[in-house]
Amino acid sequence: MDLSTTYMGIKLPHPIIAGASPLVDDMDDVKALIDSGPAAIVMHSLFEEQIRLEQEGTLLAIEPHEEGHAEAISYFPKNEDWRLGPSAYLEQIGKIKKAAGSIPVIGSLNGATAAGWLKYAKQMEDAGADALELNVYFVPTDPEESGESVERRTLEVLQTVKQSVKIPISLKLSPFYSSISNLARKADQMGVSGLVLFNRFYQPDIDIENLEAVSTLKLSTSAELLLRLRWVAALSGNVQSSLAVTGGVHTAEDALKAVMAGAHAVQVVSVMLKEGPGAIKKIREDMEKWLTAHEYKSLEQAQGSMSLQKCPDPAVFERGNYMKILMTWKP
């Protein structure tokens, strides 16, 4: 069975990518990851704040700062809490590249300023990354900032980074933009190589006894896949860039749904953290068995077969399906 696909212009033997996770921090974990046979490996994000805080650490030791500045610094992890510091992160890209052989390694960057995106994207390319994923994690809480401004900020990030590197670039987006299709089309016109749907914003909980916000991390389930399927199906055929699903892929069935909706690749994380890197091999083998049993000759034959491109009027289909579900439900 031919499971090959092309993602961000890179030919892959199959669509299952090891998404951004802490498994890239330790080389023993990396070896187990490589042994599971991922099509590519995505590094977790290097945050611009890591570099800035590392620099701030030196300044704080020699210069006094205003109280407000010190409070803002306290919101972020301490230098020793980062699994990989900025220099170690870049070195780790090189180590993983050497160990992974032909498996592509994709760097991930989350910047806060244009200068940050520009400088560190180039450093990742120089460190050996085959491609770069821009993890656009920004929660607009300012009521004065418009949706148009937020989307323009995202596109400016893409434009800035494209000017500094030659390797393929993908945008990892959230589902909260006012017009995902329009943003995707604009990014596509700017030459983005891939769109990754969707970033999972981690929602804080509230401790009602101590009146504190509590950081929480809950791994995904297959139930989260539905939102991704909707938007991949909507974008498939309407953009030239590759599409990847991240969040909610735990089984071969999940991966096949994503591919049929139009995805060229899927990124798995939570299932690896729950079951170990071997989950990648199982998903790949189960996909091959299903496709063979259903007389497919290749993954390409299934890719995009259930996208909205196959529907004559997607908007009417979406609205009609919504009404049908509500009207036909019975207790």
Partnered with residue 42 across adjacent β-strands are: 106
Confidence band for 73, pLDDT divided at 50, 70 and 90:
very low
- Encode pLDDT of 12-65 as tens digits: 999 999 999 999 999 999 999 999 999 999 999 988 776 666 555 443 333 444
Mean pLDDT of all residues in the chain?
Answer: 87
Domains and CATH numbers, the chain: 5-328 (3.20.20.70)
Partnered with residue 197 across adjacent β-strands are: 173, 245
| Spatial distance between the Cα atoms of 20 and 83, rounded to a whole number of angstroms | 13
Quick one: pLDDT at residue 169? 98
- Encode pLDDT of 156-183 as tens digits: 999 999 989 999 999 999 998 989 999 9
- Encode pLDDT of 177-220 as tens digits: 989 999 999 999 999 999 999 998 778 889 999 999 888 888 99
| Spatial distance between the Cα atoms of 133 and 135, rounded to a whole number of angstroms | 6
Q: What angle do CA 236, 240, 242 make, to 5 degrees?
A: 70
| Spatial distance between the Cα atoms of 173 and 168, rounded to a whole number of angstroms | 16
Half-sphere exposure (Cβ direction) of 65: Cα atoms closer than 13 Å = 15
| Spatial distance between the Cα atoms of 16 and 41, rounded to a whole number of angstroms | 10
List Cβ<8 Å contacts ≥24 apart for 279-285.
279/36, 279/250, 280/16, 280/18, 280/33, 280/36, 280/37, 280/38, 281/36, 281/37, 282/252, 283/16, 283/249, 283/251, 283/252, 283/255, 284/3, 284/14, 284/16, 284/37, 284/252, 285/252
| Spatial distance between the Cα atoms of 129 and 110, rounded to a whole number of angstroms | 15
Quick one: pLDDT at residue 17? 98
Token digits for 120? 């560190």
